[in-house]
């Protein structure tokens, strides 16, 4: 089973890229973020025609998440039931017995902003809910895939000194991510040897991609039973090279 996550930065703009990518990468499950579409505008027909069922939870202009699957999807839940949130950032579903959570973690804007406070509260509540979900799904496993908006370590940042303790790299955010991992999750990317300077997002400005000025902020975290099944994880930089790309690249993991 191949599973993947991709922040598409507007599904309206990126639908052709999504379909093209799935054509050459027919993963079984794909979690997407930042669809930026109300549910009535979701391109259901096009995605169905590509061979995927899909659950989605969107809103106008901002946020929005979806889970695409070649296999039947059941038990869809929108949002963290413990966290009252007008923003559509979480979608959970069961596929082949595995619990999948698609997450678009708040950006946080800057460490002195209200959005940063919201981000930390959001993550703390996610941890509480995940602890419960992990117990419920201990046997067949749980995978939480998405845009975490957190670079876990300095090696996940192109210029750690320059970024310092700015948002996406701050100690409190990293501690919040560590607290998720300590529930019994594994960053699938770091289970394997990887190229140095591996990133999943590059700034549109200043030739960020061409200069590989990026961050690794998109992650696939696996519960214990799924980590045992995981035989590969990689970032696919290809679609970041296409014309009018998303600023994020997909991350793919293989479960045996």
Q: Which of 57, 69, 79, 149 binds DNA (CB under 7 A)?
A: 149
Would you say 118 or 191 has its CB closer to DNA?
118
- Smallest distance from the beta carbon of 142 to DNA, in angstroms? 23
Residues with Cβ within 8 Å of residue 41, at least 6 apart in sequence: 12, 58
Q: Is 17 annotated as a binding residue?
A: no
Instruction: Find the radius of gyration of the CA atoms of the chain.
Output: 17
Q: Please give the residues from 187 up to 246 whose contact with DNA meets the rule CB under 7 A.
A: 201, 203-206, 215, 217, 244
Q: Does 89 bind DNA (CB under 7 A)?
A: no
CA distance 69 to 209: 29
- Helix ranges (H only) for the chain are 11-24, 44-49, 114-136, 160-163, 171-181, 224-229
DSSP 64-125: -EEEEESS--EEEEES-TTS--SS--EEEEEETTEEEEEEE----SSTTSHHHHHHHHHHHH
Q: Does 168 bind DNA (CB under 7 A)?
A: yes
Annotated catalytic, 158?
no
Name the active-site residue from 147, 156, 187, 218. Answer: 147
- Smallest distance from the beta carbon of 256 to DNA, in angstroms? 31
The residue range among 5-13, 73-81, 123-131, 134-142 that interacts with DNA, by the rule CB under 7 A, is 5-13
Would you say 126 or 255 has its CB closer to DNA?
126
Residue positions forming the annotated binding site for Mg(2+): 7, 34, 147, 149, 247-248
Active site residues: 104, 147, 248
């Amino acid at each position: 089973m191949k599973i993947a996550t991709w922040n598409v930065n507007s599904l309206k703009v990126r639908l052709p890229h999504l379909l093209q990518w799935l054509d050459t990468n027919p993963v079984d499950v794909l979690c997407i973020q930042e669809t930026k579409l109300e549910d009535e505008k979701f391109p259901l027909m096009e995605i169905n025609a590509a061979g995927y069922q899909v659950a989605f939870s969107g809103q106008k202009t901002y946020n929005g998440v979806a889970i695409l699957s070649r296999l039947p999807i059941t038990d869809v839940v929108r949002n963290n039931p413990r966290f009252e949130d007008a923003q559509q950032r979480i979608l959970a579903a069961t596929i082949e017995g595995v619990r999948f959570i698609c997450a678009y973690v708040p950006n946080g804007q800057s460490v002195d902003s209200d959005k940063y406070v919201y981000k930390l509260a959001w993550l703390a509540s996610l941890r509480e809910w995940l602890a419960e979900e992990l117990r419920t799904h201990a046997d067949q496993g749980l995978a939480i895939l998405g845009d975490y908006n957190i670079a876990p370590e300095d090696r996940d940042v192109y210029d750690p000194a320059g970024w310092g303790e700015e948002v996406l790299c701050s100690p409190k955010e990293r501690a919040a991510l560590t607290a998720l991992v300590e529930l019994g999750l594994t960053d699938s990317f770091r289970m394997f040897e990887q190229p140095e300077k591996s990133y999943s997002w590059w700034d549109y400005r200043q030739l960020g991609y061409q200069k590989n000025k990026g961050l690794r902020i998109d992650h696939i975290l696996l519960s214990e039973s799924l980590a045992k099944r995981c035989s590969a994880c990689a970032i696919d930089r290809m679609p970041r090279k296409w014309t009018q790309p998303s600023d994020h690249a997909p991350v793919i993991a293989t479960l045996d």
